[in-house]
Amino acid sequence: MPTIPAQPGGQALVPPGRPPAAPSTRRSAFAEGVDRARAAATTEPGRLRIIGAVLAILVVAFGAVTAWQTSERAAAADDVLHRSQPLSSGAADIYRSLADANTAASSAFLAGGQETAASRNRYEKDIRTAAAGLVTAAANAESGSASEETVARLNTLLPEYKGLIERARTYNRQGYPVGGAYLRYANEKMQKEMLPAAEDLYTKENQRLRADYADATPYPWAAIALGVLALAALGWAQHRTYRRTNRVLNHGLVAATAATTVVLLWLVVGHSVARSGLDESYDHGIRSLNVLHEARIASLKARGSENLSLVARGAETVTVDGQTYDAYYYDFDQDMSVLGKGLGEARRLADDRAGTTPVEAAEGNMTVWKQRHGAARAEDENGNFQQALDKVIGAKDSTGACFDGVDSNLAKAIDHEQYEFRQSAGDGRDALSGLAVGAAVLAVLGAAGALAGIGRRLSEYR
């Protein structure tokens, strides 16, 4: 055949009548792999390898998701027990300490030059407690958060309040009436700035506590669904093996099924117990504590108003619905109403005699307090200031003794509910102990068992 000359540019001419050759294409490695897998899946050994891989992946995924979800819930439960609830109680203690310091200061002012060491020590102790609580709150507040701003504001206001109280005490000892004005100014700063800020801090810490409960209590549905899917796949694989071999048991698959079942049961039962304990800690601990803290604060505010009514001696008034009242007597009535409702709710929430008894005792103290306060108010309104003073801060049959009874009984009730909270929350947290690690280990063993069981079948084809 004659040689076909090339055209200029080096391209050879195609002989007449011959079609041009198609350019050669090379398949990708992925496409070739898919073809090999498809071809392998048409044989029993290939299908067994695919089944083994899928079973191992399902069991390992189940263990991994279980470990992840239970770890998150266990951490949240631990935060409830050791972080958010103590911080919430700490915020309530800050509020209570500030209110009690204000009450102690007004009591000391009424005593005049005969201020007792006990009254002074109580005031100083409350101020130290509040300051220490603010340090703890500042250390646990997130940088730039609203809680951090509130703590900083209270840290600024506390020295200002102390300065006003010291001025009031100094002028009072010297017999200057201006001391009463300084005390009222200090009380106004406490009631309108410090206590609202402390209440805001308490509210924020309670929100953090509820968020931790919300993270700790939901069921781990993703892990449960994967566990059910893994068990279904293992059951199908064993049924398939039985139909092809007439062998009832495949030891590897049985071991994988047993490991998966143990993890799934442990997950469901453990989380149910944890959820029950945490729910109980909230229903019979946190709810009661919130009510008791509010009742105790109301009693402190009522006592402060009662004292300041004698300090002001009618200088402060308030108009409500067209009628004018002594401002502090009006505040006292409002606070005692809150106290009564709080004690009734606390008694309803208490689930045992240890919780009910101190609340009932506080209700009895409150009843006597209101009676004695009525007598003291009548003396004050009739111009008998000294007799009214004796009925409020006197050594015998005074309203101060009733207030102390209310406060001490509420403290006992709070201690009891705090103990119940720790017991229930601790039981809930402990129910999740070891579950994450146990799930991971059993999942690895289950996957190994599934691979071993499929490998046993594969060996029959060699």
- Secondary structure in 3-state letters for 253-296: HHHHHHHHHHHHHHHHHHHHHHHHHHHHHHHHHHHHHHHHHHHH
Alpha-carbon span 180 to 170, nearest angstrom: 11
Q: Which of 2, 26, 28 is nearest to 15 (CA)?
A: 2
Reply yes or no on whether the pLDDT at 42 is more than 80: no
Alpha-carbon span 357 to 14, nearest angstrom: 110
Amino acid present at 122: R
As a whole number, mean pLDDT of residues 26-48 equals 70
Reply yes or no on whether the pLDDT at 219 is more than 50: yes
320 or 235, which is more confident?
Answer: 235
Average pLDDT of the residues of the chain: 86
Reply yes or no on whether the pLDDT at 448 is more than 70: yes
Share of the chain above pLDDT 90, in %: 48
Reply yes or no on whether the pLDDT at 155 is more than 90: yes
Confidence band of 16 (pLDDT split at 50, 70, 90): low
Long-range contacts at 187-196 (CB < 8 A, ≥ 24 apart): 187/102, 187/106, 187/304, 187/308, 189/157, 189/160, 189/161, 189/164, 190/98, 190/99, 190/102, 190/161, 191/102, 191/301, 193/157, 194/98, 194/154, 194/157, 194/158, 194/161, 195/95, 195/98, 195/99, 195/301
Weakest mean pLDDT among 35-39, 51-55, 125-129, 362-366:
35-39
Alpha-carbon span 58 to 64, nearest angstrom: 10
pLDDT digits (tens, 9 = 90+) for 327-360: 888 889 999 999 999 999 999 999 889 999 999 9
Reply yes or no on whether the pLDDT at 253 is more than 80: yes
Amino acid present at 61: A
Report residue 230 as tokens: 């893994």
* Res 247: pLDDT: 67
Reply yes or no on whether the pLDDT at 4 is more than 70: no
Question: Residue 90: how many CB atoms within 10 A of its CB?
Answer: 20
Please give the backbone phi and psi of residue 318, each rounded to the nearest 5 degrees, phi first.
Answer: -140, 145
28 or 382, which is more confident?
Answer: 382
* Res 41: pLDDT: 65
Cα three-residue angle 391-397-401, rounded to 5 degrees: 95
Confidence band of 397 (pLDDT split at 50, 70, 90): confident
Alpha-carbon span 66 to 442, nearest angstrom: 11
Weakest mean pLDDT among 133-137, 318-322, 395-399:
318-322
pLDDT digits (tens, 9 = 90+) for 178-200: 887 888 888 889 888 999 999 89
As a whole number, mean pLDDT of residues 354-370 equals 94
Alpha-carbon span 251 to 116, nearest angstrom: 82
Reply yes or no on whether the pLDDT at 99 is more than 80: yes
As a whole number, mean pLDDT of residues 60-78 equals 94
* Res 52: pLDDT: 87
* Res 1: pLDDT: 44
Alpha-carbon span 57 to 49, nearest angstrom: 12
As a whole number, mean pLDDT of residues 376-383 equals 88
Looking only at the bridges linking them, the beta strands covering 317-320 and 323-326 are antiparallel
| Strand partners of residue 324 | 319
* Res 17: pLDDT: 56
Confidence band of 22 (pLDDT split at 50, 70, 90): low
Weakest mean pLDDT among 269-273, 394-398, 431-435:
394-398
Question: Residue 146: how many CB atoms within 10 A of its CB?
Answer: 12
Do residues 332 and 305 lie in contact, with contact meaning Cβ atoms separated by under 8 Å?
A: yes
Alpha-carbon span 372 to 400, nearest angstrom: 10
Question: Residue 434: how many CB atoms within 10 A of its CB?
Answer: 14
Alpha-carbon span 3 to 174, nearest angstrom: 132
Alpha-carbon span 370 to 452, nearest angstrom: 80
As a whole number, mean pLDDT of residues 277-301 equals 91
Alpha-carbon span 52 to 65, nearest angstrom: 20
| Strand partners of residue 413 | none
| Strand partners of residue 53 | none
